[in-house]
A and B are shown apart, each in its own frame.
Chain A
Amino acid sequence: MRVQLFATCLVDTFFPETGEAVVKLLRHYGVDIGYPKEQTCCGKPPNSAGYRKEARKAAEHFISVFDGTDPIVIPSGSCASMVKNHYPDLFKDDPKMFRKAEAVARRTFEFSQFLVHVLKAHESGFPNGRGKITYHASCQLTRELGVRTEPIELLNSINGAQFVPMKNADRCCGFGGVFMGKMPEISMALADDKVDSILETKTDIVTGCDHGCLMNIMDATKRRGAGFEVKHLAVVLAEAL
């Protein structure tokens, strides 16, 4: 099987090791990975801030770069939701582009979605886990994509690790894209609440499927001197292979 990988800006710029973990995992299941070098950003930031024109430019570029019929795998709920839910809406008045956007949307999978629904990775499981792990359910992943159980199924299939659910797991961490810059005080206070929920679980690792949230949680973790690690689900799973 062949897929196209969209790494996302945050993975590309700040967390390349998450991208490498995705590659390691996919190759483990015999997936052949194409990485279109011309890829940039999905357009989520302008789209959320109300800049439809700029979001459309990013979407047009994405659609032209990710052509073909291979599934597109994205290690982020919000970027995957951008492609799956918002691209068709951006071109609702342009029938030709709308059809292309819909075709790209249909081929797009958020990373945990792809692992569970296509590769059935939770069935074979992961042999070498360790420690207690809790999970933050990011907003677009949960409520726009409806991906609620997949990451948990994957975590539960790690041998040697224990998944501990946190309170208010699907409550926003306060990242919110442009929100973290425009309303930093609220953003930090919400991240503090998230850290409290994590601390209550007494786990060693918090994981999630969106580096936006994880970055915000990392910052609050540092500020609070909390002792747990913050890792993308891809990293957690790749380490348990």
Chain B
Amino acid sequence: MKRGAGQLINFRDNARRAIENPTLRRAMRHATESFRQKRSDAIVGIPFEEWREQASELRRTVIGDIKGYVDEFAVNATKRGAIVHRVKTAGDARDLIGAILKDNGAKNIVKSKSMVTEEIHLNKHLENLGLRVIETDLGEYIIQIAGETPSHIIVPAIHKSREQIGRLFCEKLSCDFSDDPTVLTNTARKILRQEFLTADAAISGANCYIADTGSIVLFTNEGNGRMVTTLPPLHIVVTSIEKALPSIENLPLLMRLLPRSATGQTLTSYLSIITGARMPGAATGAKQLHIVLLDNGRSEIAKGPYREILKCIKCGACMNVCPVYGMIGGHAYDSTYPGPMGVILSTLLNGIENAHPLLDATTLCGACTEACPVKVPLLKLLYELREMRVDKGYNQTVESLGMAGFGIAAKHAHIFQAGQTSARALWSLAGYLSPLTVNRLPKPTNRTFRRRFS
């Protein structure tokens, strides 16, 4: 199932395997249905459309001048004692983070959830350097001990059932089997508490960074983010350049939209605003705060026709409503970011030459676009990327021949009719060649509507 660098994503086979996995199907159905319900309950009785419009405008402003906001943030964060690093590529980010940890003699590292560190495959790199890295978000912890990758950007272990997690804990953590979420959470909590207390460095992501105060902001539900960012003496924040908010005054808007869209909560359980390193005399906070702002192709995306994908605030609402994602889960996409936003972002970040099969992972139903809290025109981008695939020649030859034939028939009713007649004549053959498609359709009639109309 794992794909080497530069290899084509085999989405169809991955999806087929997912469809044949009843445990996965049940887990996905249960989780996505519940998130959809909670989200629709959470947007009742509030001016959701008005907030969406405001957030969309705000994010559009940001992606129109990413460099400007990065500059402003860097000045303000530096003033407060943070060390800001701008990195171009995933490799640069890995090397830099590895070097910071090595220079400080860090051995035991606790992490709170960060999709950008997944994007740059950071954990593997750090483990290769001989460092011990522990994920502390419960979902991330589950998939870390399972040796897997997140299958959802907010709910990394969404694909696992309670029973599976119970068996996993039983096997890897040598505890008694239980599928009771409270028991399982307590097991993880006990182990992680010790990790927080002994860690000598922390790595976290950021839901956004604030240009005018130089702050980074974390929305979490388990409190692990707070432990990670306050206990160890060294804290490295890894985030991407497009996640700016111009001002701290914009934060309430994000606080209203993000939890509602992500999990259907009206408010996040923990909100951490971290501004600079620990000040002399202060009781908490990391003594050394590094903030790594990753580009990894985003500056280029921001200049191009698909730039609006960068408005995304990574809430996962598009995944929860996507019929395709809900059926197969995130691993079938074989990319850091799955679901509708993932199809678009992965195609742009990984290159269409590797990722183009993902463009078939949509029925173009538009549910994602309707759910997006910052009005990313996901449906429009999906249409446009399919056009890009054809323009660049990553479509199938037989399909493009068929479409060329279509182009001729569409212009001439008599050719079109001849096509209908031959489709009827060749129907059994077509069914033999393509049973899963043709045999699902009724046979073409010999008395078409155009013949019947009078």
Interface residues of A (CB under 8 A from B): 7, 11-16, 19-20, 23, 35, 37-41, 43, 45-54, 57-58, 60-61, 139-140, 143-144, 170-172, 174-177, 179-190, 193, 215-216, 218-219
B residues in contact with A174, CB < 8 Å: 323, 363
A172 near B16 with CB under 8 A, answer no
> Given A49-B386, A50-B387, A182-B360, are A43 and B413 neighbors across the interface (CB < 8 Å)?
no
B residues in contact with A186, CB < 8 Å: 15, 19, 324, 327-328
Measured CA separation A50–B449 after assembly (Å): 29
A181 near B386 with CB under 8 A, answer no
> Given A48-B364, A183-B360, are A61 and B410 neighbors across the interface (CB < 8 Å)?
yes
Q: Could you tell me the distance in whole angstroms from the C-beta of A215 to the nearest C-beta in chain B?
A: 6
B residues in contact with A144, CB < 8 Å: 366
> Given A54-B407, A57-B410, A176-B365, are A16 and B452 neighbors across the interface (CB < 8 Å)?
yes
A54 near B404 with CB under 8 A, answer yes
Q: Could you tell me the distance in whole angstroms from the C-beta of A178 to the nearest C-beta in chain B?
A: 8
The number of chain B residues with a CB under 8 A from chain A is 57
Smallest CB gap from A11: residue in B? B449
Looking at chain A's contact residues, is the secondary structure mostly helix, strand, loop, or mixed?
helix
Q: Could you tell me the distance in whole angstroms from the C-beta of B398 to the nearest C-beta in chain A?
A: 11
Measured CA separation A12–B446 after assembly (Å): 10
Pick the most buried of A45, A144, A182, A218: most chain B CB atoms within 10 A of its CB. Answer: A182
Looking at chain B's contact residues, is the secondary structure mostly helix, strand, loop, or mixed?
helix
B449 near A19 with CB under 8 A, answer yes
Smallest CB gap from B363: residue in A? A176
> Given A13-B445, A46-B403, A175-B363, are A41 and B416 neighbors across the interface (CB < 8 Å)?
yes
> Given A13-B444, A51-B390, A219-B440, are A40 and B453 neighbors across the interface (CB < 8 Å)?
no
> B249 at interface (Cβ–Cβ under 8 A)?
no
Measured CA separation A139–B366 after assembly (Å): 7
A216 near B440 with CB under 8 A, answer yes
Smallest CB gap from B413: residue in A? A38
Q: Could you tell me the distance in whole angstroms from the C-beta of A41 to the nearest C-beta in chain B?
A: 5
B449 near A52 with CB under 8 A, answer no
A residues in contact with B190, CB < 8 Å: none
> Given A40-B413, A50-B383, A189-B19, are A176 and B364 neighbors across the interface (CB < 8 Å)?
yes
Smallest CB gap from B370: residue in A? A143
B residues in contact with A13, CB < 8 Å: 420, 423, 444-445, 448
29 A-B pairs whose Cβ atoms sit less than 8 Å apart in the complex: A7-B450, A14-B441, A19-B452, A19-B453, A41-B410, A48-B386, A50-B386, A50-B389, A51-B387, A57-B411, A58-B410, A61-B410, A61-B411, A139-B363, A143-B365, A143-B366, A143-B370, A176-B364, A179-B363, A179-B364, A180-B437, A183-B360, A184-B440, A185-B16, A187-B363, A188-B440, A215-B440, A215-B441, A216-B440
Residue in B360, B411, B434, B450 whose beta carbon sits within 8 Å of that of A37 in the complex: B450
> B12 at interface (Cβ–Cβ under 8 A)?
yes
Sample of 17 more A-B contacts, CB < 8 Å, known A23-B453, A41-B410, A215-B441: A7-B449, A13-B444, A20-B452, A39-B413, A41-B406, A50-B359, A50-B395, A51-B387, A140-B366, A143-B370, A170-B367, A172-B323, A179-B360, A179-B363, A181-B434, A181-B436, A186-B19
Measured CA separation A37–B417 after assembly (Å): 11
Measured CA separation A237–B398 after assembly (Å): 41
Measured CA separation A49–B404 after assembly (Å): 12
> Given A50-B386, A179-B360, are A43 and B410 neighbors across the interface (CB < 8 Å)?
yes
A residues in contact with B442, CB < 8 Å: 14-15, 215, 218
Residue in B367, B399, B434, B444 whose beta carbon sits within 8 Å of that of A172 in the complex: B367
> B409 at interface (Cβ–Cβ under 8 A)?
yes
Residues facing A in B390-412 (CB within 8 A) are 390, 395, 399-400, 403-404, 406-407, 409-412
A residues in contact with B12, CB < 8 Å: 182-183
A residues in contact with B400, CB < 8 Å: 51
Smallest CB gap from B13: residue in A? A185
